[in-house]
Amino acid sequence: MTRDTPGLWAVTAPDFPALTPLEGRIEADLAIVGAGYTGLSAALEAAQAGARVVVLDAEGVGAGGSGRNVGLVNAGLWLMPDEVEARLGAESGLLELLSAAPAAVWETVERHGIDCEARPAGTLHCATDAAGMQALEERARQWQGRQVAVALLDAAQARARTGTDRYLGALFDPRAGTIQPLAYARGLARAAMKAGAVIHAPARVTGARAQGRGWEVETERGKVGAARLIWAGNAYGTGPAANDSLTIMPYFNFATDPLPDDLRRSILPGGEGAWDTATVLTSFRLDAAGRFVIGSVGELGRADTAVHEAWASRQMRRLFPQLAGIPFAHRWFGRIGTTPDAVPRMVQTGPGAYGVTGFNGRGIGPGTVLGRELARTALGLQSALPVLPVAKPDPLRKVRGAGYRLGAAALHLADRRR
């Protein structure tokens, strides 16, 4: 299997109408490159404000990370809250914006009637060792100091919530939850189109240049003349917002067929999504039909595939021995755009042109709210978005990207001895 198939999510997402390539030249107030969460949220916001919006994507709605991730709707960033404010300043408002990101997702789903298995039941960040538990304790202290009702669980409480005894404790975040990620992307696209946005795909952007008071965006078969421009491709993108500061980290998932009711009730009985504090982490959840989904860092489609699948099977049995012998029915992977400091890049790339990239594995909530704010910024409306200059290239990004892939494969291979 290659990255060209979003795996389980393409099977279970509601159908989406066929799109068409861009032919000839059209005019718009705002052109958006990328039909993932960020671009679609921006399109929805701008179209609702009355702008003429055109979205261009090389493959289709949710074809990148938005249709390939595990579906955990988390708040904040990977960084501790104190560190986010230390790096960007409390006055930037970014921490508050991202803290409320899951609420924005749930509100968007409800307002637009998006059928995406949304379940705001929270998430569990699970400690694999003493250092992981200490980190969760500090994260809990910092969020609770900001009046966020996260809860630190001991080993017994974590066992009751997850169904496994492999963790020393966990941090429960009630703001968060799970969705069917591709279905959410398609729902955003439907809402944006209903509001008047036009989406063209396949429509690979081959260039963009400032022209007069706006931009001319060129695809293989057409052009868009637009007053404003947003780059929203993230790890799959092109253009100045996806510059050489971004390192790509591959992430895979395997999923079973729907489990019998007795097994389903023994795993995450509260419906949370979960991941752990291991350096090469494990994520796991159930979908609405009771399929067990497990993921980690690594790429499929190479010789690594067998290594990662064997690891996923062992890890599933370690966490939940009752699943021994149950095969995987689906497998897929995607790309995560990471930055050296784990902070997204919100940039102005030219007059009236903006972009955001580098969600570092937190794309659903942040993509939703940052896309919305990016649209407001581009249209000259009041926005909470802190816009930064384009980041300098990272000369080691390709080395880091190879390290993610090869290091994960080595650890998953060595795991056979456990």
Which token pair is 418?
């456990």
Of 233-247, 273-287, 330-344, where does mean pLDDT reach its minimum?
233-247
DSSP 3-state helix, strand, coil percentages of the chain (rounded to 5)?
Answer: 35, 25, 40
For residue 301, being part of any structural domain is answered with: yes
HSE-up of 114 (CA within 13 Å, CB side)?
A: 28
pLDDT at 116 over 90: yes
Which token pair is 262?
């007795």
Domain count, the chain: 1
For residue 101, being part of any structural domain is answered with: yes
Check which CATH number belongs to the domain holding 308 and give it. 3.50.50.60
pLDDT at 384 over 70: no
Of 162-166, 231-235, 328-332, 374-378, where does mean pLDDT reach its minimum?
231-235
For residue 154, being part of any structural domain is answered with: no
The total of other beta-carbon atoms located within 10 Å of residue 360's CB is 19
The single-letter DSSP state of residue 109 is H
Q: What is the pLDDT of residue 93?
A: 83
| In 64-154, alpha helices (H) | 81-88, 94-99, 101-112, 130-144
Q: What is the pLDDT of residue 404?
A: 41
DSSP element (H, E) containing 224: strand 222-231
Dump pLDDT digits (tens) for 88-106.
777 778 889 999 999 999 9
Of 250-259, 260-269, 307-316, 386-395, where does mean pLDDT reach its minimum?
386-395
What's the whole-number average pLDDT of the chain? 89
In whole angstroms, what is the distance from residue 102 CA to residue 118 CA?
11
Counting other chains too, the contacts that 261-266 makes at CB distance below 8 Å and 24 or more residues apart are 261/290, 263/322, 263/323, 264/290, 266/163, 266/320, 266/322
Q: What is the pLDDT of residue 117?
A: 98
For residue 128, being part of any structural domain is answered with: no
State the pTM of this model: 0.91
DSSP class per residue in 160-173:
HHHS-S--SEEEEE
Q: Rounded mean pLDDT of 226-245?
A: 77
For residue 137, being part of any structural domain is answered with: no
Dump pLDDT digits (tens) for 176-202.
999 999 999 999 999 999 999 999 999
For residue 127, being part of any structural domain is answered with: no
For residue 144, being part of any structural domain is answered with: no
Q: What is the pLDDT of residue 399?
A: 38
Q: Rounded mean pLDDT of 139-147?
A: 97
Q: What is the pLDDT of residue 1?
A: 29
DSSP class per residue in 132-152:
HHHHHHHHHHHHHTTT---EE
Quote the percentage of the chain above a pLDDT of 90. 72
Pairing of strands 247-255, 292-297: antiparallel
DSSP element (H, E) containing 249: strand 247-255
Is the pLDDT higher at 242 or at 331? 331
Domain with 273 in it: 8-122+175-417
Q: Rounded mean pLDDT of 118-135?
A: 98
Q: Cα torsion for 142, 162, 78, 387, to the nearest 10°?
A: -90
Q: Rounded mean pLDDT of 389-412?
A: 45
For residue 138, being part of any structural domain is answered with: no
Q: What is the pLDDT of residue 241?
A: 60
pLDDT at 296 over 90: yes
